[in-house]
Structure formats: C-alpha cells, structure tokens
Amino acid sequence: MGDCCEIHQEEPPKQKKEKIEKKPREEERKESSKKQDQNRINALQMLETIPAGDWTRAVEVASTLEQRGSDRELCRSAAKAAERICCQERGLDALTEQGAVQSLLQAWQTHRNDTSMSVHTHNVVARFWERASGDDQWICLPAQLGVAKVLLSAQSEWLAEGHRTAVKLHEKGHKTAAMELYRLCIEQLTKEHGADSQCTLQAQNNLAVLLEECQQFQEAEKLHTEVCKQMEAKFGAEHGDVTSSKFNLAALKAKLGHLAESESIYRQVLEVRERTLGPQHSNTLRAKANLADIIRRQNRLEEAEGMLKNLVDQAHVSFGRDDPTTLKARCQLAHVLAGLGDEARNRQAEAQLREVVSRREQKLGPSHPETLTALGRLAFVLEGSNPREAEQLNEQIWQRLDSLAPAEKRRARARSGGFVLGLAELGEPEREEALLRQVVERRSATLGATHPDTLAARAELAAVLSRKDGEEAKAESLALRREVANLSETCLGLEHVETLAAKAALAGAILRSLGPDANPVDVKAAKAEAEELHLKACRESLQLAGR
C-alpha cells in the first residue's frame, strides 16, 4: 500500500510539470503560425502591387512560385502579376531569364482546376509565342529555348502553337530560329503522337523544305524521301499531303539536276491532281507548270511549248488574264518560245513579255519582284534583236533595285560625266571611247582596279565597245564584261546591285558575240552560259527586291 501511495502522490506533480513544459511550445507554434500568416499576407500584398511592365519585380514572382507552389491563392496572384509584367518586352525577358515562366507552368499544373490562374497562365504563354514569332534572335537565346521546350511538352495546344510559330518564322525568312523550333516540335510530336502521325510528318515536311532553302540538300533529300514513303504508306497515293510532299521532293530533285527523276515524280503528282482536284485547279496547274519547266530544261522545247500553251489557256479561263498564275505561265511560254530561236517565235515571246510587264506594273507596281523578273526576261529576249532597248530596260531594273536595296548593296557609280556620255550622240564615238579609256586608267591608278568607281568606268567602256562594228571591239567588250562581273562578285558580293548588273550585261554580251557563222556547238554552249547568268541574276534580284 505504501508503494502505491507513493506512486499516486508523485503523479500529480508530473502532470503539472508536463503542462508547464507544453505551454511555451504551443505559444511558439501560435506565434509561428501568426508570423507565417503575416508573411503570406505580405506576399499577397506585394504581388498585388506589382505594376504593369515592372521587369525588376520578376525575381519576386519567380521566388514566390518556386517557394510557395502549393499555395493556390499565392500562385494565382503570382500568375496575375506575371501577366502584368510581361505586357512589355523587357518584362517578358526578365520572367524568362529568372525561370519564372517554368515555375508558373509547374504551379499551373498543380492547380489546373483554378480557372483564374489558368487564364493568366495562358495569357503569359500567348505573349511568349507572339514574341517568338516576331523576333528570331530572341527565341534562339538559351533561356527562351528552354521555355519553349517546356511549353511544347506541357500541353497539346501549346505544341500546335509552337509549330505555327515555327511556320511563321520560316515564312518571314528567319531560318535559324525556324529550324531550331521545327526540330523541338518534331521531337515532341514524335513522343506524343508517333513518328508516322500526320502532324509529325507535316512538321518534318516543313523542316525538309527549310533545309533545302538553307542549301542542306543531302539532309533535305533524305528527309523528303522518308516523309513521302511514310505518308503514302499511311494515307494512300491520292491524299493531299502525299501529293504535296511528292511535289516538294520533285522540286528538290530538279534543283539538284536530277531531271528524269523530277519529271517522273511531277507526272505522278499531275495525274493524281487532275483526277482528284480537276484539270483547272490551281494546284493541278502548278504541277503542270513545273513539269513543263523540267521538260524545257531537258531541251524538249516543242513539247514544253504545247504544254504551256494549254496551261495559259486553262489559267486564263479559270483565273482571268491578270491572275498571277496566268501571268507566270505566259512568262514560261515566252521563255520557251525565245529558246526555239526562230524569228516568229521571238516576236511572240516579246509580245507576251511586254504584256506581262505592263499588267504587273499596273497591278503590283514597277518595283515588285515579279515585275522586275518579267522586265529582266524581256531585256534578255531583246539582246539579239534590239540590244539598245535591252540595255535601257536593264538600267531601269538596276535603278529600281537601287531604290529597294540597303545602302551597302546599292551602286555607287561615279559616272564619267554627261560630256563623255553625250559624245556618241554628237557623232564622236571614237572620242568617247578615248576619254573613257583615260578615265579607266586614272581610276585604276588612283583608286585601284577593284574599286566600284573603276568597275563602273570599265562597264561603260564595255558598253561603248559593244556598239562598235568589228570582231575585235566585240571581243574586247566581252572580255571587259567578264572581268567586271568576276571582280564585282569577288569584291562586292553576289547580292550587290553592281554585281547583278554586271552579270546581266555579261549575259547580253555573250549573246551578241554569236556571229551568223558560229559553230552550232559553240552557239549552244554560249546560250546555255548566258541563260545561266541571266537566271542567276534574276534569282538574286528577286531576293534583293523582296527584302
């Protein structure tokens, strides 16, 4: 009994002692909880007071999202603050660099059922893609690419938006950014939908086209071929995406010089489109136009002529006389007619081109790339029959290009002066030639043989010599044209207006150098060289005019 009493006597003090010890701990917890509540209130107030575009507060948003990602209300306020910050470009930069966008996405995935937070998050993402589609350098930065990769894997809607952004960048000519984004999209599309899904194959087709534009022909051909095989196996030969993919492959084969393969593929595309879309459909006519061009390049000119006359008639009926498809077909027909070489067809080619130039000038403007292309083709056709007008037309082209080109690509021509240029019109061509030779010599001595002003003077001397009778003058003119063209490309670059003018002038000089008794083999080689020079100048002019 004594032991029991002792035990009972000692128990109350123990209980009392425990109560004494617990009391400060409970108070600490209450104080800590109160402090946490106050910190939370402070954080909410801080987020709510962040003004629009204040990029300096991006770090606070990022910190809140990273440390308090489980707190729905705080995350909602942080998302709202992030939307306000990113209304200006610098704000979006800061959010991206601080990792706030990735933290926001993680918080959004945790609280997907919060409607308000979803709206703010989607608005931030929309702002990101909008910026990406218009700023190719920005999207290629490491932080931005990191965000893009996370977005592409976060939601199918954003993956589709990423692909659309890549297409926009591609269309604007931002090739590096577009290629980077295409590859990211293809990687994610393959994971989500499979390598043979329609969306994956469409993205691969777009990448193959871009690779081709970037001169990466081997990879482009391999990818085009794989896409064609997979699409045809899955969707059948008559599916629109299949014929589109084959069309792109045929175009690449033609660019690589594989004309027989290109012709075969184009014929397959044309046969399917005539059957499924009809002979008058724009896609059908486009395939026919490209096939006719392949036939022309294989020197089957009469076959190409018949096909193109039919194409012009179909385009005229379907789209009208001023439609781009009709006018392009007429340019192609003129090209073939001029190539056939007889006088009657040359006149037909000239008439076709004059009308195309007139209609394009009225509809598109005198400096539009397509107008300049037709004008250049007309000048080339006139080289044999009317070289003086051809020279005048070419000068119009270079003047128009000078007005479009950036300052560093324009001609800086120090002409020899109105006095020298007017001597020929006054009946003193010999004196004009002599003075020009003096100008060339002085500029070569003082400025150097490769200075733009020296090259301009040599080009003027070549033009004067080309108008003289006699084989010796024509041979010297041609030699000068070659030197000027080569030096211009080396010193000024291929895209410089002076270089383009020199190449076009060289093409004309080659054609004019052909005498009536020239060897047929030499004539064919000279015409091919002139044609290649002209087409090269046209391609570069198009790029320069389209900037």
Model pLDDT, residue 28: 61
DSSP tag of 424: T
If DSSP states are collapsed to H, E and C, what string results for 15-52?
HHHHHHHHHHHHHHHHHHHHHHHHHHHHHHHHHHCCCC
DSSP tag of 323: S
- The residues, any chain, with a CB within 8 Å of residue 191's CB and separated by 6 or more, are 153
Instruction: Identify whether the C-beta of residue 541 lies closer than 8 Å to the C-beta of residue 522.
Output: no
pTM of the model as a whole: 0.77
Residues 270-322 have pLDDT tens digits of: 999 999 999 999 999 999 999 999 999 999 999 999 999 999 999 999 999 99
DSSP 188-220: HHHHHH-TTSHHHHHHHHHHHHHHHHTT-HHHH
Instruction: Identify whether the C-beta of residue 126 lies closer than 8 Å to the C-beta of residue 87.
Output: no
What amino acid is encoded at 432 in this protein? E
Q: Which residues of the chain have pLDDT under 70?
A: 1-37, 412-429, 545-547
In whole angstroms, give the CA distance from residue 482 to residue 502: 8
Model pLDDT, residue 328: 94
DSSP count for the chain of H helices, then E strands: 26, 0
In whole angstroms, give the CA distance from residue 36 to residue 521: 93
Model pLDDT, residue 350: 94
Model pLDDT, residue 31: 60
